[in-house]
Structures are given as C-alpha cells and as structure tokens.
Amino acid sequence: MNDALQRKLENEIAYLKRLNSELLDQLYEDDAIKFPWMGNLGQWFWDCDQNIVTFNPLKARRLGYSPEEVPEEAGFEFFTDKLHPEDYDEVMDKMRAHLQGLTPVWEVKYRIQAKDGSWKVYYDRGKVTQWSDDHKPLFLVGNVFDVTDDEVQKQKLLQKSHYWRRQAEIDSLTKVYTRSVMHEKLSEIHEYSIQNQKDYTILLLDIDHFKKINDTHGHLVGDQVLATIGSILKANLREGDFAARYGGEEFLLVFPELDSPVAKKIGERMQEILRTAELPIENELTFSAGIASSQETQDIREILKLADTRLYRAKETGRDRIIEA
C-alpha cells in the first residue's frame, strides 16, 4: 500500500470517527427528548463480535465516573465487574439466555457499585438486533434507567407496610394477637392438624368480675389488668403456641400438638401466677376458662363453640376454674 492510499484511509477513518462522535452526541441529546422519563440514562449499543459497548455518558456519570475515566473502547466488563455479587449470576444468566435466542429480550434489574462505594439500582433492557447467518448475536441495542430513588421509596413503603401490618396483628394494650389474626393462625393450625393427624387444644378464658374492676377502679386500672394478663399468658406459652385477644376481657390460647389435660395444667399455672400479680385492686385476679380439642371434632367452629360453652359453665358454677369436658 503506497503512502497516498495510506493517508487517504487514515483520513477516512478519522472522518468516520468524527462523524460517529457527532451522531452519538446527537443521539444522546435525542434520548432526553424522546424518552424524558425520570432516571433515563439513555441508550447503549454492544458489538458482540468486538466486545465494544457504546453508551450514553450518563450511565457512567451516574456512577461517578468522568468521560476521561472510561476506556475509549469499553467492553461489557466495565459494568459487569461492578455488579453486586448477589445480582451477578442472575444478570449474566439472563443475558446468556437472550444471546442464545431463548428469550425475546434481555430485561433485568440489578445493583451496581458507584465509584464512591455506594450502590445504585439500574433497570436494563436490551435486544439483539443483528444476527449472523449461523444465528450468532452480532449487535445489541438497549436502554438503561437509574431506578435507585424508586427502590429506596419502595423499601420505605415496605417497611411502613410491615409496621402497620404489625400494628394490625398485635393488640396494642395486651401485646397478644388481635382477633383477626387469631382466625388466620387458628385456621393454619387446624389445616395442619387435619393434614398431619396432629391434634391441638384451645383454651378460652374470661377475666372474672372485670366489669366491677372497671367500675370501681376506673379504666386505667382495667387496662393495667389486661396488660398484666397479656404478659402472663405470653410468658407461659411454649414455642408454637399463641395467645389472642378474643373480646374485651376474653383471651384465646391455642396449643398445637397438645391434649386437653396438659393444656389445663398450663392454664392452672397461669391462674396461680395471676393471683399473685401486683395490681391496685382489693381481691385476687382470677379467670374462668373452657377447653376444647380437635380430638372432639374436626369442625373449627364446633371447637370454638365447645370452649365457649365450657367457659360459660365455669362462670356459672363459681368462676375461677377451668372446665375441659
């Protein structure tokens, strides 16, 4: 090749580079106009054969890198090396699946580390636009978005949702489950009991003379009584048991894989502890209770009804007692 031809080729290459640079600048400006969505970092292009990624500088700038810190011909590793370890495999697996023609597009959300060590969240979507004759990927085009702020807000909402769900699950005064959660958890235990042929027992209790306590000492003392009994119930349950506030001064205890006589002994221990509790009332604090078991019937409503009937009998026959049959 003579010198004149060499210079001509060099000039053409230089011209094409300048033209390509201008076209890319125009394309990146158009990105902001055509896709004015919040977090849009523009388009990217990947020449698979040469492993050259061309991308809107915003993608690297958002990570804290200046144009001078990005290689002139950056490969995909410039970004994949910064992926969060927990996200790396998913990102690469989805890309491989798309390059093999197994999925119509490559679409993934991932965490990527910025220059200062913080983590951004990118949503990336791309597609092979050119294939070789033997169906190998040649060229991909895609768009990337910085969705970090959205993810932060999402996490805050999830935390708030968890908090409010917790507030709805736990009775604020007694710190045991609310009645709505009780039905949900009791149904789960009932289904488990049927499927695994494991019996369970419930104990329904009512504080004796609670109305008199409220009328004589006021609702603040009444609340103190309720809080005390809630604490005693929780402290004397096994792992897997649960207590719920069934009504005003009524509580339901559920004992999975426990028969009625043992449940009654647990209830009697709670009665003894309650009698010695320090409360600003004249008389000992007692409760009456009724016990029922899934051994007696497989109908959850009937189990509750049996316990309620026996609770009524306990109150009618002198209170401060537990009736199991």
Active site residues: 249
H/E stretch holding 128 = strand 119-131
3-state secondary structure of 71: coil
Residues contacting 85, CB < 8 A, separation 6+: none
**Residue 307 in tokens:** 């316990």
Residue 290 contacts residue 323 (beta carbons within 8 Å): yes
**Residue 37 in tokens:** 């969505």
For 277-310, letters b (16+ CB in 10 Å) and e give: eebebeeebebbbbbbbbeeeeebeebbebbbeb
Query: What is the spatial distance between Cα 161 and Cα 116, in angstroms, rounded to a whole number?
Result: 31
- Sheet with 322-323, side-by-side order of all strands: 242-245, 250-256, 200-207, 287-293, 322-323
DSSP bridge pairs for 40? 145
CA distances to 15, 28, 122 from 19, in Å: 6, 14, 30
Residues contacting 309, CB < 8 A, separation 6+: 290
For 209-222, letters b (16+ CB in 10 Å) and e give: bbeebbeebeeeeb
Query: What is the spatial distance between Cα 324 and Cα 143, in angstroms, rounded to a whole number?
Result: 68
Residue 297 contacts residue 190 (beta carbons within 8 Å): no
Nearest Cα to Cα of residue 319 among 284, 295, 281: 284
Per the document, the length of the chain is: 325
